[in-house]
């Protein structure tokens, strides 16, 4: 399968260029869009990749000779925030990813909430406008089909009379183009309302907003933050610390890598909740620690 071959090829390339001895590699973490059965490492369903029941962990393990863990990509970001990011000391928090897709990682009482079948957090597919625009998932009126990057670009393209790329969209926002700012602000307000409802439902202490959509800046993000503060039940919104995470694409890689550390530190006796050791520039300390606990 092409994806497995590509992952194997790139993993070997990273090992070669980093000059890490294979015997020192603890494992491979894979973050994927979709519903993931983590126990078996099978992608049950991904509309983005058009996959159904695709085995990932098994074939990769056989090819690389290393342990492999697979998890939903938004969930890996939540785990990374807990272990090496803004949520080190948080117990209940949300990571909201904005961009092509709209996703939500939910951490409750320091544990990732995955749902009964590993499909929790498909926040972008809540129907908020029945009969609205068609979503990539095949249904109509999903949040993602209204405020995802594709929807925003489509609306701006209609106004400009040509296909507006991601870079052009960003440029138009930076230039304060009135039509574009109107579309982006409106998307931010709609998304903010949905996020406020989730905050009312789950009462998190921290909300981390990340993903490529954050590049649209204050025009998109301010209405989201304002809605969280103004549209939540009672004073819940004012008790939520909102952080914008500016990690680039590396965040997804850090998230996937954290899966390996998380599994290894779940060994009996490991103080995996200790926040002090999980600062990003102490990763070498962590790696040595993991090595010493290896069984
Ligand atoms: Zn959908």
If you measure from the C-alpha of residue 203 to the centroid of ligand 1, how many angstroms do you get, rounded to a whole number?
A: 25
Examine the domain organization and report whether 122 and 226 are in the same domain.
yes
User: Token pair for residue 249?
Assistant: 């694409």
pLDDT in tens, 74-112: 999 898 888 878 888 899 999 999 988 899 999 999 888
pLDDT for res 30: 94
Least confident among 60-64, 130-134, 270-274: 270-274
- Report the first-to-last Cα separation within the chain, whole angstroms: 32
81 in a domain, yes or no?
A: no
Q: Please tell me whether residue 96 adopts helix, strand or coil conformation.
A: strand
If you measure from the C-alpha of residue 194 to the centroid of ligand 1, how many angstroms do you get, rounded to a whole number?
A: 14
203 in a domain, yes or no?
A: yes
Q: What are phi and psi of 48, to 5 degrees?
A: -65, -40
What single-letter DSSP state applies at residue 223?
Answer: H
141 in a domain, yes or no?
A: yes
Examine the domain organization and report whether 20 and 93 are in the same domain.
no
User: Token pair for residue 16?
Assistant: 């070669």
CA atoms within 13 A on the CB side of 147: 32
- What's 216's domain CATH number? 3.30.420.40
pTM: 0.82
CA distance 4 to 265: 27
If you measure from the C-alpha of residue 46 to the centroid of ligand 1, how many angstroms do you get, rounded to a whole number?
A: 11
Could you tell me which residues come within 8 angstroms of residue 2 by beta carbon, excluding any fewer than 6 positions away? none
- Higher pLDDT: 269 or 49? It is 49
CA distance 52 to 272: 34
pLDDT in tens, 47-82: 888 899 999 999 999 999 999 999 999 999 898 888
If you measure from the C-alpha of residue 143 to the centroid of ligand 1, how many angstroms do you get, rounded to a whole number?
A: 7
If you measure from the C-alpha of residue 29 to the centroid of ligand 1, how many angstroms do you get, rounded to a whole number?
A: 27
Q: Is the pLDDT of residue 164 over 70?
A: yes
Domain that holds residue 114: 87-244
Q: Is the pLDDT of residue 154 over 90?
A: yes
pLDDT in tens, 181-219: 999 999 999 999 999 999 999 999 999 999 889 999 999
Confidence of residue 262 (pLDDT cuts 50, 70, 90): confident
Specify the DSSP element, H or E, that contains 210: strand 206-210
- Higher pLDDT: 68 or 21? It is 68
Number of domains in the chain: 2
Confidence of residue 267 (pLDDT cuts 50, 70, 90): very low
Kindly give the pairing relationship between strand 103-108 and strand 111-112.
antiparallel
């Amino acid at each position: 399968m092409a994806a497995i071959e590509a992952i194997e090829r790139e993993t070997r390339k990273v090992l070669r260029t980093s000059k890490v001895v294979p015997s020192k590699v603890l494992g491979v973490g894979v973050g994927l869009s979709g519903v993931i059965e983590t126990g078996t490492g099978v992608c049950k369903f991904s509309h983005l990749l058009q996959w159904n029941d695709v085995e990932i962990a098994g074939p990769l393990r056989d090819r690389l000779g290393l342990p492999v863990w697979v998890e939903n990509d938004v969930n890996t970001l939540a785990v990374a925030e807990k272990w090496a990011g803004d949520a080190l000391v948080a117990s209940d928090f949300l990571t909201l990813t904005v961009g092509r897709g709209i996703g939500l990682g939910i951490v409750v009482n320091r544990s990732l909430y995955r749902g009964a079948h590993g499909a929790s957090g498909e926040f972008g597919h809540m129907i908020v406008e029945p009969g609205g625009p068609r979503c990539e998932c095949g249904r109509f009126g999903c949040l993602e089909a209204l405020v995802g990057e594709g929807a925003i670009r489509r609306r701006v393209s209609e106004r400009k009379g040509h296909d507006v790329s991601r870079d052009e969209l960003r440029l138009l926002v930076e230039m304060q183009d009135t039509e574009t700012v109107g579309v982006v602000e409106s998307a931010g307000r709609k998304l903010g309302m949905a996020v406020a409802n989730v905050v009312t439902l789950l009462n998190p202490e921290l909300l981390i907003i990340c993903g490529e959509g954050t590049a649209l800046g204050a025009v998109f993000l301010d209405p989201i933050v304002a809605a969280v503060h103004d549209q939540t039940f009672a004073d819940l919104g004012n008790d939520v610390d909102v952080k914008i995470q500016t990690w680039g694409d590396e965040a997804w890689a850090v998230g996937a890598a954290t899966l390996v550390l998380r599994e290894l530190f779940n060994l009996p006796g490991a103080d995996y909740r200790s926040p002090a050791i999980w600062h990003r520039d102490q990763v070498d300390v962590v790696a040595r620690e993991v090595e010493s606990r290896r069984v």
